[in-house]
Amino acid sequence: MVTLVKQISVDLDRANLVMFLRAYFSSKRILPGIPSEVFVSGSGVGFHLKIYKQVTIEEDLKIRALLWDDPYRLYYALKKWALNSQEEYVDLVFDEKNEKKETVIPLEKILKSHEKEVETITDLLNRGENEKADEEIKKLSKDLEPQLSRFKRPSYVGCIAFDGEDVREKLEKICADIAAKDETFKYRFYPSFYLEHDWIVAIIDTDKDRVWKRLTWLKNKTVLKDMNAPLWVKERIAT
């Protein structure tokens, strides 16, 4: 018995309009005439592309890979399939994150006023002239940015760079305790790519002022207070 996936979904975590449009137009080339919808993800940062076609698990994984689906998501899907060839849930995409629903984008309606550009991109992709198609997609993305940005929600990440494994363990406990009491407190720890520091703690929120308050509290009220630990806030570009 062949297990079928009910739909193909692509999760594009980066808030990159060019990548999003590249995946969308490529999906139309790979699966012409198949209905699809696009969404801003529940985080308000990334994009979801849902293609409404039943396919085998193998076909699902191949198409998602061709459309730049999130690599970790593909990895776990492949792992599920390897463990159970009849696994039904290899293609899951969350329509809600942090109590926020994904938002549908009426992209086909928006593109109706850009028919010439769409026709050019489609023709280039069909002829295999991908580099030229990319240049046209970049031009189109600039035109669409004002219309599509209103579907997104601002999101910010505040970071503190610091040193020491013992410091990281203490901060992780503090952050875990806060998160257990306050569901709006979202955090992650990353190895630092800066030579001067070992770790980065990131606080994620839709409220820029609240990010700053939480960062300064961590800097001034915890083990970080006497350390050289630079901090900064910027708009989030990936989930």
- Choose one of 119, 151, 183: the last residue of a domain: 151
Percent with pLDDT over 90 in the chain = 71
Same domain, 29 and 110: yes
State which amino acid sits at residue 93: V
Using an 8 Å Cβ cutoff, are 123 and 38 in contact? no
Same domain, 90 and 168: no
Compute the chain's Rg from CA coordinates: 21
Same domain, 90 and 132: yes
Using an 8 Å Cβ cutoff, are 206 and 223 in contact? no
Predicted pLDDT of residue 15: 63
For the chain, the average pLDDT equals: 90
Percent with pLDDT over 70 in the chain = 95
Which pair of tokens denotes residue 227?
Answer: 């350390």
- The per-residue pLDDT for range 114-126, each reduced to its tens digit, is 999 999 999 999 9
Query: Which structural domain range is residue 38 located in?
Result: 4-151
Same domain, 119 and 132: yes
Same domain, 25 and 114: yes
Predicted pLDDT of residue 177: 95
Same domain, 94 and 175: no
Tell me how far CA of residue 102 lies from CA of 13, 39, 97, 164, 174, in angstroms.
13, 6, 8, 38, 31
CATH of residue 218's domain is: 3.30.70
Same domain, 116 and 167: no
- Choose one of 151, 171, 205: the last residue of a domain: 151
Count structural domains, the chain. Answer: 2
- The per-residue pLDDT for range 165-224, each reduced to its tens digit, is 999 999 999 999 999 999 889 899 999 988 889 999 999 888 899 999 999 999 999 999
- Choose one of 130, 151, 172: the last residue of a domain: 151
Same domain, 220 and 112: no
Please name the residues in contact with 198: beta carbons below 8 A apart, sequence gap of 6 or more: 162, 163, 164, 165, 168, 191, 192
Ranges assigned E (strand) in 76-214: 96-97, 100-101, 103-105, 156-162, 186-191, 199-205
